[in-house]
Amino acid sequence: MDFSNFLLMRQELSLVAVFVILFLYDVFCSDNTKKAFQPVACVLFALHTVSGFFPASMGEAFGGLYVNSHIAVLMKNILNIATMLVFLQAGHWLKTDESVHKRGEYFTIMLVTLLGMYLMVSAGNFMMLYIGIETASLPMACLAAFNKSAEKSAEAGVKYILISALSSGVMLFGMSFLYGVSGTMYFSDMKAVITIDPLLIMGFVFFFSGLAFKLSLVPFHLWTADVYEGAPTSVTAYLSVASKGAAAFALIFVLYKVFGNIEVVWNQILWWSAVITITLGNLFAVRQKDIKRFLAFSSISQAGYILLGIISGTAQGMTATAYYVLVYVFSNLAAFGVIAAVENQTKGNTSISAFDGLYRSNPRLTFVMMLAVFSLGGIPPFAGFFSKFFIFMAAANQGEYLLVFIALLNTVISLYYYLLIVKAMFIKEKNEHAADRFVTDGYNKLSLILCTVGILVIGIVSCIYNRFDSVAFGI
Amino acid sequence: MIKMEYYLIISILMFFIGIYGFISRRNMLAMLISLELVLNAVEINFAVFNRYLFPERMEGLFFTLFGIAITAAETAVAIAIIINAYRSIGNVNVTKLNKLKD
């Protein structure tokens, strides 16, 4: 048997190795030894993350089921960075009595979902894509229901698993018609035979709806706010960056590699869903009182901005999309890191009023949160401005001026509600729910420092964008 | 031999009955059964397309086999999560899952 195919899957194999080591550690070690679980997991995963940056061999494995390309490796590195930051932020929560005996499960389940995301990004066949999506979303439902004693967490788990099963059913239904039209499941073969005909369009619409559930585009977004609010904060952070990023990458690969010839069909679909997603996400975010729900709606509108990069159909669009997700990872995880710290202090209170007057008690956390929301809103010196700029430029270069104009108007709305948080932290007086002065634990501090550096540096250091640009491809 | 269209009519009916059941049922287990209808409709589709249109290659049948396995895993996880929810709310009615709203 020829094992050389496996050399292409270096990142997957090293992830599985980390998973196996942590799994054996969790099963065979005593409770006393397991006190070092989080540091060991973080160090192993950091090694895995760093190894992803070394040059790897490219090509197709298993007859085209699995495709490794330079841009796919970069996207996996983005997902690695997101997971690493979430691992660092989980520390305090995993030391509580509720979850201390389950910390091993937390890390291992997270790694399995990450493996599913890798397969989504590297898929060269619809079956592989489906297996990847399921590998990513089934364990994710378990993570959403992780706090077994909390009613909200159980509810979030039920909502997530039922909606994700329904969405994969709808997506499979679409895939079956795509198969009926083309006679193959391979991306490259299917691209060669498809032409615009009604059955294909029907199949595509079902398939797109299934992926839109994962990406939480309007009108498939209704699960998002509930699951984000109910799930434990560190899981919400992971769901909002890694899961969404992987879905965006899978969508862009499928649209470019398979449906490139029929761009006229999906251009309109994406145009309308981008406009509705950005607008509704923003309008609903304004009226939220809970910070996790608030960030859920903000992440819905961010998914709409990601569609702007995908819709252009050029190499520039792919570059802008990957770059946008990278910046979004740092900004959103900075916000979630602060939320996790405040939530631990206020005994699970996640309302926005818990942030009132935070500046007087915790100036440094306030500073990080301010940078995060400025970057999410797109205020100039921070990375968020550059990612929004590139994504608008990619769409405008294809003549989508109206779409860019609507998105720009929405940026103004989003600035309003992002600044509400800043106002609560700086101007409002401290109330009885708000957090007192406290010290964040070391791991979370490290993750917040990394996020701050990312927000400040990524926009200015142009080699990162150039690296994406040199490997991206268009239709 | 039975025409392909008849199989497709059956599978599309199953799919939409499943969707209807998922929307109208209030019992989580009944919703899960409806989801099974949806996924089985898809598997019929794959098998039929393979058998009638592309009998020289086996891709559709393989997809059916993988689909059945993944669906079973999905059901197992869903039932575990529903049992977990049952422990905390004492019911399998979805209308009782109303803690999360604004």
Do the domain assignments include residue B36? yes
Helix, strand, coil percent values for chain B (each to nearest 5): 80, 0, 20
Q: Which two tokens stand for residue B99?
A: 């803690």
DSSP secondary structure letters along A207-275:
HHHHHHHHHT-TTS-HHHHHHHHHS-HHHHHHIIIIIHHHHHHHHHHHHHHTSGGGHHHHHHHHHHHHH
- For residue B95, being part of any structural domain is answered with no
Residue-wise pLDDT tens digits, B22-39: 999 999 999 999 999 999
Q: What are phi and psi of B27, to 5 degrees?
A: -90, 130
| CB–CB contacts below 8 A, A to B | 128
Q: Which domain holds residue B23?
A: 4-89
User: Does B23 fall in a domain?
Assistant: yes
pLDDT for A224 equals 93
Q: Is residue B49 part of a domain?
A: yes
Residue carrying structure tokens 């490290």: A446
* B7 part of contact set with chain A, CB < 8 Å: no
Range of the domain at A184: 4-474
Looking at the complex, report in whole angstroms how far the Cα of residue B90 sits from the nearest Cα belonging to chain A.
11
Question: Are B97 and A169 an interchain contact pair (Cβ–Cβ within 8 Å)?
Answer: no
CATH code where residue B36 lies: 1.10.287.3510
Q: Which uninterrupted H or E stretch holds A66?
A: strand A66-68
d(Cα A369, Cα A85) in Å, to the nearest integer? 15
pLDDT at A380: 85
pLDDT attached to residue A141:
94
Chain B: residue whose CA lies nearest to A136: B74
Of chain A, the percentage scoring pLDDT greater than 70 comes to 100
Burial class of A425 by CB neighbour count within 10 A (0 to 12, 13 to 18, 19+): buried
- Note whether residue B97 is domain-resident: no
Domain assignment of residue B100, yes or no: no
Q: Which of B36, B81, B91, B94 to probe the A interface (max A CBs under 10 A)?
A: B81
Minimal C-alpha gap between A398 and chain B (Å): 37
Buried residues in A170-202 as b, exposed as e (16+ CB within 10 A): bbbbbbbbbbbbbbbbbbebbbeebeeeeebbe
* Structural domain count of chain A: 1
Please compute the mean of the pLDDT values over residues A63-70 and round it to a whole number.
Answer: 90
pTM, full prediction:
0.94
| Among the ranges given (A288-297, A318-327, A346-355), the one the predictor scored with the smallest mean pLDDT | A346-355
Q: Is residue B101 part of a domain?
A: no
Q: Name the residue facing A161 among B22, B38, B81 (closest C-beta).
A: B81
Three-state DSSP at A61 gives strand
Domain count, chain B: 1
Q: Given CB atoms, is B23 within the 8 Å cutoff of chain A? A: no
Minimal Cα–Cα distance from B86 to chain A, Å? 9
pLDDT higher than 70, residue A1: no
Q: Do A165 and B78 touch (CB under 8 A)?
A: yes
> Does residue B93 contact residue B26 with C-beta atoms inside 8 Å?
yes
Determine the residue among B13, B17, B20, B77 to mutate to test chain A binding: the one whose Cβ has the most chain A Cβ atoms within 10 Å: B77
The arithmetic mean of pLDDT across residues A29-43, rounded, is 89
Residue A302: which pLDDT band, with cuts at 50, 70 and 90?
A: very high
Residue B10 domain flag: yes
**pLDDT (average), residues A285-312:** 92
Q: Are A68 and A56 in contact (CB under 8 A)?
A: yes
List pLDDT tens digits, range A224-273: 999 999 999 999 999 999 999 999 999 999 999 999 888 888 999 999 99
Token output for A471: 């490997």
Q: Select the residue of B22, B74, B100 nearest A226 (Cβ to Cβ).
A: B100
pLDDT in tens, B44-63: 999 999 999 999 988 899 99
Instruction: Note whether A162 contacts B32, CB cutoff 8 Å.
Output: yes
**Cross-chain Cβ contact B85/A155 below 8 Å:** yes
A413-425 pLDDT, tens digit per residue, is 999 999 999 998 8
Contact between A379 and A247 under an 8 Å Cβ cutoff? The reply is: no
pLDDT exceeds 80 at position A430: no
Give me the mean pLDDT over the A185-213 stretch: 92
What confidence score (pLDDT) does residue A2 get? 74
